[in-house]
């Protein structure tokens, strides 16, 4: 009789234990922060100087790097720490795990792209940037990263187009120094 009661109690616990890994392998829904991002971009466009824009850029990064849940945040933070310590292969592996966990989270794709860029693995980086931008079309860091990747790949005209879109959203992007004068500019100088 005791075995029967134990089996009755154990069955639901066993089912819960077996289901837990499946639940742990899913990510919380990615919160729509497009309104917050648009408001920050609006303030960046009105910023009178790079110094005035700096806190707004930090605010953008705070939005982008707020992962959907604790597990995703831990992977994002670990991957960024690996990248900062020049463990690019480890960072790519960690960001790949983040993407597997939260495929709709744009920053996972953006961060893996950055790690791949640093490895000079440009084609996969470009694919990751396209994935990031598919999820967050106004992600100016992903846009500028795409422009830099295209430059490294020898695709300067495409890079200029992407970079102009990014600078239209955030005129204070550091990558603005890579903008060339538009073809119809009679001076033909770098901006």
pLDDT band at residue 181 under the 50/70/90 scheme: confident
Q: Give the tokens for residue 29.
A: 């829904």
pTM for the complete prediction? 0.82
Angstrom distance (rounded) from CA 33 to CA 28: 15
Q: How is residue 180 annotated by DSSP?
A: P
pLDDT tops 60 at residue 4:
no
The tens digit of pLDDT for each residue in 24-80 reads 478 999 999 999 999 999 999 999 999 999 999 999 999 999 999 999 999 999 999
Phi, psi angles (nearest 5°) of residue 87: -90, 70
Q: Give the tokens for residue 19.
A: 């289901």
Burial status of residue 92 (CB atoms within 10 A of its CB: 0-12, 13-18, 19 or more): buried
Average pLDDT over residues 88-107: 98
Give domain limits for the chain. Answer: 33-178
> Which among 36, 84, 83 is positioned nearest to 63, based on CA atoms?
36
The tens digit of pLDDT for each residue in 106-146 reads 999 999 999 999 999 999 999 999 999 999 999 999 999 99
E strand or H helix at 132, and its extent? helix 122-135
pLDDT tops 50 at residue 188:
no
Q: Give the tokens for residue 39.
A: 């408001």
pLDDT at position 83 = 98
174 CA to centre of own chain:
17
Do you know the residue count of the chain?
A: 191
Q: How is residue 153 annotated by DSSP?
A: T
- Round to the nearest angstrom and report the end-to-end CA distance of the chain: 84
The fold for domain 33-178 equals 1.25.40
pLDDT at position 183 = 64
């Amino acid at each position: 009789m005791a075995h029967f009661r134990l089996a009755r109690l154990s069955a639901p616990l066993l089912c819960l234990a077996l289901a837990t890994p499946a639940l742990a392998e899913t990510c919380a829904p990615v919160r729509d922060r497009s309104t917050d991002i648009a408001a920050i971009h609006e303030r960046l466009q009105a910023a009178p100087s790079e110094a005035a824009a700096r806190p707004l850029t930090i605010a953008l990064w705070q939005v982008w790097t707020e992962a959907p849940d604790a597990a995703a945040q831990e992977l994002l933070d670990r991957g960024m720490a690996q990248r900062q310590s020049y463990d690019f292969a480890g960072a790519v592996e960690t960001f790949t795990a983040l993407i597997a966990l939260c495929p709709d989270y744009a920053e996972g794709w953006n961060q893996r792209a950055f790690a791949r860029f640093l490895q000079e693995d440009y084609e996969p980086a470009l694919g990751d940037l396209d994935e990031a931008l598919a999820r967050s079309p106004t992600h100016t860091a992903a846009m500028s990263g795409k422009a830099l990747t295209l430059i490294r790949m020898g695709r300067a005209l495409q890079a200029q187009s992407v970079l102009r879109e990014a600078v239209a959203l955030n005129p204070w992007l550091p990558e603005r120094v890579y903008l060339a004068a538009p073809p119809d500019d009679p001076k033909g100088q770098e901006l």
